[in-house]
């Protein structure tokens, strides 16, 4: 249980304060333990980085999957709600911070890169499940391709609206347009 508390504190430091502040000393201080005690769980900073990003990835995937599994209504309503959920999720400061900091660490750590790719892939798989319910005629590969484009539009819309201090510039109507384009792509027949 202690390692989970450490990971949650480290995740918060990473997404709120950035990679440079994710130090063993800072995490130990925030949890209220000695560095030696922290190193019992995570011997080196790299171990902590990897585990915190894996923890954050697993948490985000579980959150998205649980949300989709609990949706009710017809296929189109479920799809639209999933897109709104994903847009709201990537607009949250903690998710933006995870994406920014995770990809920054991924540039020099293959395991972290794998974790970030898995996060994106698993979200695309969930979107592909929603597309399958909406448009069962298209095959699995095409569903995943469309889901990847939709997910990229969602994530890209957030980063294109971000200012230097990581706050968002609100572009009225952007989420509505994105939702309409995502639905159109999901429902489009095979060409």
* pLDDT exceeds cutoff 80 at 4: yes
53 or 10: which leads in pLDDT: 10
Instruction: Please measure the distance between the N-terminal and C-terminal CA atoms of the chain and give it in whole angstroms.
Output: 52
The model's pLDDT over 137-186, given as tens digits with 9 standing for 90+, comes to 999 999 999 999 999 999 888 776 655 555 556 677 888 999 999 999 99
Question: In the predicted model, what is the mean pLDDT of residues 73-100?
Answer: 89
d(CA 134, CA 188) in angstroms, rounded, equals 10
> Superfamily assignment of 53-187 in CATH?
Tetracycline Repressor, domain 2 (1.10.357.10)
Long-range contacts of 187-190 (CB under 8 A, 24+ apart): 187/76, 187/134, 187/135, 188/135, 188/146, 189/135, 189/137, 190/137, 190/138, 190/142
pTM: 0.84
pLDDT score, position 17: 86
Q: What is the mean pLDDT of the chain?
A: 89
| Domain regions of the chain by residue span | 53-187
Give the residue from 52, 53, 25 showing the smallest Cα distance to 39.
25
Q: Token match 């639905």: residue?
A: 183
Encode burial over 143-160: b for 16+ CB neighbours within 10 A, e otherwise: bbbbbbbbbebbbebbee
**pLDDT band (50, 70, 90) for residue 109:** confident
The model's pLDDT over 55-70, given as tens digits with 9 standing for 90+, comes to 888 988 999 999 999 9
The model's pLDDT over 16-44, given as tens digits with 9 standing for 90+, comes to 888 888 899 999 999 999 999 999 999 99
pLDDT score, position 99: 81
């Amino acid at each position: 249980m202690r390692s989970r508390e450490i990971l949650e504190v480290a995740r918060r430091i990473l997404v709120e304060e950035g990679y440079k502040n994710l130090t063993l000393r800072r995490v130990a201080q925030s949890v209220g333990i000695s560095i030696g005690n922290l190193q019992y769980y995570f011997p080196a900073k790299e171990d902590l980085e990897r585990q915190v990003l894996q923890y954050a990835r697993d948490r985000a995937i579980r959150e998205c999957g649980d949300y989709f599994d609990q949706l009710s209504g017809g296929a189109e309503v479920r799809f639209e709600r999933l897109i709104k959920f994903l847009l709201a999720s990537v607009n949250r400061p903690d998710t933006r911070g995870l994406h920014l900091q995770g990809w920054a660490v991924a540039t020099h750590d293959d395991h972290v890169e794998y974790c970030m790719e898995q996060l994106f892939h698993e979200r695309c798989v969930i979107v592909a499940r929603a597309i399958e319910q909406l448009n069962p005629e298209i095959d699995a590969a095409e569903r995943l391709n469309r889901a990847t484009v939709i997910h990229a539009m969602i994530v890209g819309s957030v980063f294109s609206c971000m200012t230097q201090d990581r706050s968002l510039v609100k572009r009225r109507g952007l989420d509505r347009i994105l939702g309409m384009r995502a639905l159109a792509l999901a429902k489009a027949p095979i060409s």
